[in-house]
């Protein structure tokens, strides 16, 4: 089955290149959705901007860093509190938001003085914080404000602070993916190897591409602690600015999110010879496999097996309870990109769930190679989907639950289809063994929730009967 032109796309036939329905005996050599391409005029997709990819996804996670957004207030507000990445130091990164609050006069006369004043004010207000990332946004990039020069001046005036600049305005790429790339490459070019980390173990690694969504990083850290592996830097979950400056000293880079952070892993391999190991941190069998690979690399296989046995003893029966009740559930995943290939097989193997449609906001063609290789036949694989397509796909595949963000989640709730927050989670963490039981619990609660059926009842219409609940909760 080649690429699909949905009925709703009849006036924008170019969308056919972006939607694939997998049939038997086909593979990515024949059919691969075009991805990481400009959104087609006429389709209102749900992509974020390049600045958002840098700030919201990666930089804003750090727990000890001021995020100075040089632009109008909206750029700051709209990338604040929309992701849940707690920290172990009181959630500094989520409590505060910083903006230079550019107004028309600053756009007309230049915003560099405004930026310098804002940076100094922020450091004065927070004397314990000595690290900052400054971001350009669309207007400040268009008027040509030189944020690197301002950062240099502030660092000269304040010798105890360190500032990193990200020049990645919203318009600079087709999606948030561009921001990931710019921050990754900027960091390795300017900051890696500017500080020597203290080495406390014979086994050292960086954990790259997990952002401590509802505690993912902190949960996985308990595994690395038990294995005696020192994580030099988390890129960037529960991470610190200075730890990321010492990434060059790790023996191994373990990569979970290869889309947002594969770039820095590639560069660390090229420049420092550090091998890159890609793993999946979601799912029982995947997590066990990842731990086994890491332990095999370090030659500590027995420790790994002990840990896996302990975790299985604690969590496997709970997972199986959910698997029994979720087998055959039809799931759609409409998220950023990597969670499509991280989840499609793990929910199938560990929970008996069939993933029937997947849409990626900012995945590249590499992500589609991965997900089509792993995913089921008869499943739709969509790049940069839009709302009308989502409605049509729902009609075609009839999902029982959709993993997506709150915006699209609100849409599907109106159709009385439950959604689980696939970005920030409902009740995470979702990574690791305990985490996947959490994911199973939230999926179960969504699928079996009777309220969504009752939401469709209109008592003004006597001819309608109360809907039959297909699934009775256990």
Partner 1 sequence: MILEDKIEDLFGYVQERCLWQFFSRTWDRQENIDGVLNQVAALLADNEPERDTPMKKLHYADAKIMVSDLKERYPWLRGIDEIESRVLLDGLKARLIDTAITRSTNRELSHHLY
List residues near partner 1 by CB under 8 A. Answer: 27-29, 32, 36, 181, 251-252, 258, 262-263, 266, 273-280, 289, 292-294, 296-297, 345, 364-366, 369-370, 373-374
Closer to partner 1 by Cβ: residue 224 or 241: 224
Distance CA 247, CA 242 (A): 9
Q: How many CB atoms lie within 10 A of CB 293?
A: 15
Closer to partner 1 by Cβ: residue 293 or 413: 293
Q: What is the CA radius of gyration of the chain?
A: 23
Backbone angles phi and psi of 85, in degrees to 5:
-125, 90
- Minimum distance from residue 285 beta carbon to partner 1 (Å): 9
Closer to partner 1 by Cβ: residue 63 or 276: 276
The 3 state secondary structure assigned to the chain is CCECCCHHHCCCHHHHHHEEECCCCCCCCCCCCCCCCCCCCCCCECCCCHHHHHHHHHHHHCCCEEEEEECCHHHHHCCCCCCCCCCCCCCHHHHCCEECCCCHHHHHHCCHHHHHHHHHHHHHHCCCCCEEEEEECHHHHHCCCCHHHHHHHHHHHCCCCEEEEECCCHHHCCCCHHHHHHHHHHHHHHCCCCCCCCCCCCCEEEEEEECCHHHHHHHHHHHHHHHCCEEEEEEECCCCHHHHHCHHHCCEEEECCHHHHHHHHHHHHHHHCCCEEECCCCCHHHHHHHHHHHHHHHCCHHHHHHHHHHHHHHHHHHHHHHHHHHCCCEEEEEECCHHHHHHHHHHHHHHCCEEEEEEECCCCHHHHHHHHHHCCCCCEEEECCEHHHHHHHHHHHCCCEEEECHHHHHHHHHCCCCEEECCCCCCCCCCHHHHHHHHHHHHHHHHHCCHHHHCCCCCCCCCCCCCCCCCCCC
Q: How many CB atoms lie within 10 A of CB 172?
A: 19
Closer to partner 1 by Cβ: residue 232 or 258: 258
Q: Hey, what are 53's tokens?
A: 């990819």
Closer to partner 1 by Cβ: residue 151 or 351: 351
Residues linked to residue 419 through DSSP beta bridges, in sequence order: 402
- Minimum distance from residue 366 beta carbon to partner 1 (Å): 6
Closer to partner 1 by Cβ: residue 371 or 408: 371
Closer to partner 1 by Cβ: residue 63 or 342: 342
- Minimum distance from residue 26 beta carbon to partner 1 (Å): 12
- Minimum distance from residue 113 beta carbon to partner 1 (Å): 34
- Minimum distance from residue 428 beta carbon to partner 1 (Å): 23
Closer to partner 1 by Cβ: residue 292 or 441: 292
- Minimum distance from residue 374 beta carbon to partner 1 (Å): 6
Closer to partner 1 by Cβ: residue 31 or 315: 31
Closer to partner 1 by Cβ: residue 262 or 429: 262
- Minimum distance from residue 380 beta carbon to partner 1 (Å): 19
- Minimum distance from residue 55 beta carbon to partner 1 (Å): 21
Q: Which residue has the tokens 């309608």?
A: 464
Closer to partner 1 by Cβ: residue 275 or 424: 275
- Minimum distance from residue 203 beta carbon to partner 1 (Å): 12
- Residues 360 and 367 sit within 8 Å (Cβ to Cβ): yes
- Minimum distance from residue 77 beta carbon to partner 1 (Å): 31
- Minimum distance from residue 126 beta carbon to partner 1 (Å): 36
Backbone angles phi and psi of 227, in degrees to 5:
-85, -10
- Minimum distance from residue 169 beta carbon to partner 1 (Å): 18
Closer to partner 1 by Cβ: residue 51 or 263: 263
């Amino acid at each position: 089955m080649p690429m699909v032109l949905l009925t709703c796309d009849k006036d924008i036939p170019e969308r056919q290149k972006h939607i694939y329905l997998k049939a038997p005996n086909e593979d990515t050599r024949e059919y691969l959705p075009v991805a990481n391409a400009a959104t087609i005029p006429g389709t209102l997709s749900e992509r974020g901007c390049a600045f958002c990819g840098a700030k919201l996804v990666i930089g804003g996670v750090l727990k000890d860093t001021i995020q100075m957004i040089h632009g109008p207030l909206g750029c700051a507000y709209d990338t604040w509190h929309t992701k849940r990445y707690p920290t172990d130091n009181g959630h500094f990164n989520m409590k505060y938001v910083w903006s230079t609050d550019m107004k028309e006069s600053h756009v007309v006369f230049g915003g560099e003085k405004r930026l310098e004043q804002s940076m100094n004010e922020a450091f004065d207000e927070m004397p314990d914080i000595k690290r900052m990332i400054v971001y350009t946004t669309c207007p400040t990039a268009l008027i040509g404000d030189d944020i690197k020069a301002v950062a240099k001046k502030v660092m000269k005036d304040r010798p105890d602070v360190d500032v990193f600049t990200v020049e990645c305005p919203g318009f600079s790429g087709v999606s948030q993916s561009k921001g990931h790339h710019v921050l990754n490459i900027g960091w390795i070019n300017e900051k890696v190897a500017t500080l020597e980390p203290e080495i406390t173990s014979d086994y050292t690694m960086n954990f790259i591409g997990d952002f401590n969504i509802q505690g993912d990083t902190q949960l996985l850290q308990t595994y690395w602690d038990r294995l005696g592996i020192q994580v030099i830097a988390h890129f960037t979950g529960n991470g610190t600015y200075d730890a990321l400056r010492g990434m060059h000293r790790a023996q191994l880079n373990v990569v979970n999110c290869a889309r947002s952070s594969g770039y820095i892993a590639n560069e660390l391999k090229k420049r420092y010879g550090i091998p890159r190991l890609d793993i999946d941190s979601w799912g029982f069998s995947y997590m066990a496999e990842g731990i086994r690979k890491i332990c095999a690399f370090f030659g500590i296989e027995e420790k790994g097996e002990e840990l896996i046995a302990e975790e299985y003893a604690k969590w496997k029966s709970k997972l199986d309870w959910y698997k029994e009740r979720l087998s055959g559930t039809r799931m759609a995943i409409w998220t950023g990109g990597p969670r499509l290939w991280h989840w499609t097989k793990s929910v199938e193997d560990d929970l008996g769930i069939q993933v029937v449609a997947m849409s990626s906001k900012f995945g590249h063609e590499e992500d589609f190679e991965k997900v089509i290789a792993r995913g089921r036949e008869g499943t739709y694989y969509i790049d940069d989907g839009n709302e009308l397509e989502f409605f049509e796909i729902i009609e075609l595949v009839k999902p029982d639950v959709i993993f997506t963000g709150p915006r699209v989640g609100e849409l599907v709730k109106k159709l009385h289809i439950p959604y689980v927050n696939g970005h920030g989670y409902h009740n995470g963490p979702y990574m690791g063994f305990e985490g996947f039981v959490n994911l199973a619990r939230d999926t179960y609660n969504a699928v079996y929730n009777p309220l969504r059926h009752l939401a469709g009842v209109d008592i003004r219409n006597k001819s309608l009967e109360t809907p039959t609940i297909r699934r009775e909760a256990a």
